[in-house]
Amino acid sequence: MIPVYEMKRGMELPERVSSRTQLDDQEVAEVVREILKEVREKGDEAVAFYTKKFDKADIAPEDFRVTGEEVNKAFQLADPAVIASMHRAMENIKEFHEKQRRQSWVDFDKRTALGQLLLPIGSVGIYVPGGTAPLFSSVLMNAIPAMVAGVERIVMVTPPREDGSIAPEFLVAAYECGIKEIYKAGGIQAIGAMAYGTDAIPKVDKIVGPGNVYVANAKKEVFGTVGIDMIAGPSEILVIADSGANPAWIAADMLSQAEHDTLAAAFLITDQSAVAQAVLQELEKQVSGLPRENIARASLEKNGAVMVVDDMLTAMEYANKIAPEHLELCVENPYGLLGWVRNAGAVFIGHFSPEPLGDYYAGPNHVLPTSGTARFFSALSVDDFVKRTSVIRYSKTALGNCTSDVARLARAEGLEAHARAMEIRAQDD
């Protein structure tokens, strides 16, 4: 089902492990640009057309927005036990993200005042995937840090079902997070509507949230018109395991990501060939009979990999090259390896910290960099919903003390007007 690679230090990663980008498909990029162009030019007409084409839902623009009646019905349909668990998860997520809040600051002395204002972004659009599973946890993970940051207007878009409805758990989660604008639109057309604005869906300042390859490319295309959080691709997990790891647990964790999507990736690195073989056996055993067996099998067969290395430091070298979305340290001394982590979206420490804890409940955000982008992106946080504005104030004396320096630097760059803007104030004395 999954290939096993004997890896020696210095060897290149297998192609299926190293090449995980979603942004190299020119056919996808062309489709994205064409649909975005139509949304910009035709507005709601294009959104309705593509919603019918791709989601098989015939919705008039005046019905894009979810009504209060639909939200009330969602509470009647949703499982009360699920709502109760959702509330407990929300408490953890909110508590974690509140610790990320930072304050504006200004440092004063007799002659200067220098500082930074931290201001919430005015409006944010949250994209919540529909796809093959109702990922209402993404509502919580995107909305709660925006709430904590103080964003005034939070908009949610999500693909409708064929009958034009939204999964009740989506609407309950949105309502519990205080989202007042929810629109039945998904895919490229929803990204375009939020970026450019239509009569039914007013534009936002920033778009956040994961999506499929088309959504990822659409976010890349509209960046600059609006801000984006990151380009999040299919889910992925890397488990590092030693002789003390439980193969059944490792297989279960790998399958927890493989069942997301046929494009998802599940990797194992171990220094024990026996562990590698035992995990492969467990994967075959556990995948059989899963409700999403076909998806999980396809994911493992297309994108899964097991790598056997000589030692744990070599394992960490490869882990940092992979830069996984989720990194599990299922080893005897996980804290000993933690200091070697350089690139990972989230790290799960020890045998009793499975990845689904991060997806739903622990508190840290599950919107994480994928496809190796953990080398330069971070988990979604309160910082993603805040702008930083610098504050500068100089007194007359302080300005006079630095005028010659600033003017000299400006003229060295060939910017005479800059220099004169400094010197004119001294000439007025």
Both tokens assigned to 270: 């171990």
Residue 19 banded pLDDT, cuts 50, 70, 90: confident
Residue 25: strand, helix, or coil: coil
Asked if residue 233 has pLDDT above 90, the reply is no
DSSP state of 205: S
Residue 22: pLDDT over 80: no
- Residue 363, pLDDT > 90, answer yes
Distance separating alpha carbons of residues 216 and 230, to the nearest angstrom: 9
Q: How confident is the model at residue 212 (pLDDT cuts 50, 70, 90)?
A: confident
Q: How confident is the model at residue 312 (pLDDT cuts 50, 70, 90)?
A: very high
Q: What is the mean pLDDT of the chain?
A: 95
Q: Which residues pair with 227 in a beta bridge?
A: 206
pLDDT at 135: 84
- For residue 152, the model assigns a pLDDT of 97
DSSP-assigned letters across all residues of 321-339 = HH--SEEEEESS-HHHHHT
Task: Summarize the confidence of residues 339-358 as an average pLDDT.
Answer: 97
HSE (side-chain half, CA atoms, 13 Å) at 370? 24
pLDDT in the model for residue 144: 98
Cβ atoms 266, 237 nearer than 8 A: yes
Position 132 pLDDT exceeds 80: no
| Residue closest to 136 by CA, chosen among 82, 94, 203, 189 | 82
Looking at residue 24, its pLDDT comes to 74
Specify the residue for token string 């350089």: 342
By the 8 A CB rule, do 316 and 240 touch?
yes
Catalytic amino acids? Answer: 325-326
Contact 5, 15 (CB under 8 A): no
* pLDDT value at residue 429: 60
Q: Is the pLDDT of residue 428 over 70?
A: no
Higher pLDDT residue, 239 or 1? Answer: 239
* Whole-number pLDDT of residue 65: 98
Ordered structural domains, the chain, with CATH: 26-228 (3.40.50.1980), 234-366 (3.40.50.1980), 395-427 (no CATH)
Q: Predicted confidence band at 426 (pLDDT cuts at 50, 70, 90)?
A: confident
pLDDT tens-place string over residues 372-398: 999 999 999 999 999 999 999 999 999
Q: How many CB atoms lie within 10 A of CB 33?
A: 14
Cα separation, 66 vs 313, whole angstroms: 52
- Provide the whole-model pTM: 0.93
394: nearest Cα among 422, 415, 420, 429: 422
